[in-house]
Amino acid sequence: MSPVSTTGYPQESPLAPARPPASLLDRIGNTPLLPIRLGGRLAIEFPRIQFYAKAEWFNPGGSVKDRPALWMIRDGESRGRLTPDKTILDATSGNTGIAYAMIGATLGYRVKLCLPASASLERKRILRAYGVDLVITPGEEGSDGAIRLARELYAAYPEKYFYPDQYSNPGNWRAHYESTAPEIWQQTSGRVTHFVAGLGTSGTFCGVARRLREWNPAVECVSLQPDASFHGLEGWKHMPTAMVPSIYDPSLADANLHIRTEEAYAMVRQLARLDGLLVSVSAGAALAGSIAVARRIPVERSAVIVTVFADSGDKYLSERFWDEEPEAAATGSPAQ
C-alpha cells in the first residue's frame, strides 16, 4: 500500500494537491462530505443511521469525473501514449467529457468526444464552450453508441488520437481507490459501515469498494443501476442490456439494487426543497439507493451510510421533471 500524505492521498498520486496550488488541477479532490437529512425526515425513520454524500460538484470541472480523467491523462503522459501532437478522444455521457475538456484546456491538449444526443442541453453547451470537437451519436443508443463510434475512430486513426477509454482503463477505478476512498475514510474517522454508489463506468464503485474493504472487510458495499434499459439516469448503465465495462467487477458488491427514474426525480426535488441541495438525477438515485439500504438494516443497529453525489443539478435545469408537483417524501411523510 502506498504511503498516505497528510492530505489523505498517496504521496505519488497525481490527484494530490501541491502547496500552494500551482494550477486549477490541484483543486481536484478533497471534496466535502455532507450530512443528508431531508429536512429531518431521515432521522425520524432512521434514528440510528447517519447518511452522508460526497459533494463532487466541488471539483473544478463540476463532477466526480475530474478524478479519473486527470488520472488517465497523467498516466497517458507518463507512458508516452499522450503527446502534444495527439488529440484526446473518448466516449462520454457528459461529465467525463467535461473533465477532459477542462483538463485538456489547462494542459494544452485538443479534445474530441463522442456524445449521445440524449445528453442534457447544458452538458452540450458546456463542452462547446470549452472548444471540444463534439460528435453527436444517436440518443436511443445511449453511451454504447458513443463507445462504438469512439472505437471506430481510434481504430481508423490510432496515430492521431490518445484514447484513454474510460470504460476499460484501470486508471478510472484506481483514481477512486487512491483518492475518493481515503477521503471517505478520513472524513468519517473510519466509521463508514456502508458504501453505496451507482454504476456507469463502474470506476467509482469498484475503486472505493476495493480500498474500503482493505481497511475494514466488514464495510458493506452496494451497487446501484437503473431498473430498465430505457431510463433517465444519465451516466448510469443497465448492466444486463448494456456494453459492460471491462473494469466492472460485480463480485465487489454485497448487493445490487435497481432504481426507478421516477424515484430519482422525486428525490432530487426533495433534496432541493428540504436540504437546499441542487443535485443531479444520478445523485437523487444514489440517495434513493441509500435509503433502500437503510431499510434493510435491523432497527437496533447503528450505521454510517456514505454515497456519492456525482454532480450538481445545474446541468439538468432544462429537464421537465423540475416542474412536476411535489410528492410525499421518500420516508413516507406527507408532502409539505
Catalytic residue from among 65, 124, 237, 315 = 65
- The answer to whether the beta carbons of residues 98 and 68 sit under 8 Å apart is no
For the chain, what are the domain ranges?
A: 24-58+175-323, 66-162
Supply the pTM of this predicted model: 0.89
Active site residue 65: yes
Catalytic residue from among 282, 290, 312, 315 = 282
pLDDT value of residue 319: 84
Q: Could you read off the pLDDT of 12-64 as tens digits, one per residue?
A: 566 665 556 578 999 999 999 999 999 999 999 999 999 999 999 999 999 99
Report residues of the chain scoring pLDDT below 70.
1-21, 325-336
Report how far residue 94's alpha carbon sits from residue 57's, in angstroms, rounded to the nearest whole number: 14
pLDDT value of residue 16: 61
Distances in whole angstroms, Cα of residue 233 to Cα of each of 88, 149, 238, 263, 324: 26, 22, 10, 10, 17
CATH for 24-58+175-323, options being 3.30.70.20, 3.30.950.10, 3.40.190.10, 3.40.50.1100: 3.40.50.1100
pLDDT value of residue 21: 57
Report how far residue 195's alpha carbon sits from residue 250's, in angstroms, rounded to the nearest whole number: 14
Domain covering 66-162, topology: Rossmann fold (3.40.50)
Instruction: Tell me if residue 280 falls in helix, strand or coil.
Output: coil
Q: Could you read off the pLDDT of 235-270 as tens digits, one per residue?
A: 899 999 999 999 999 999 999 999 999 999 999 999
pLDDT value of residue 259: 98
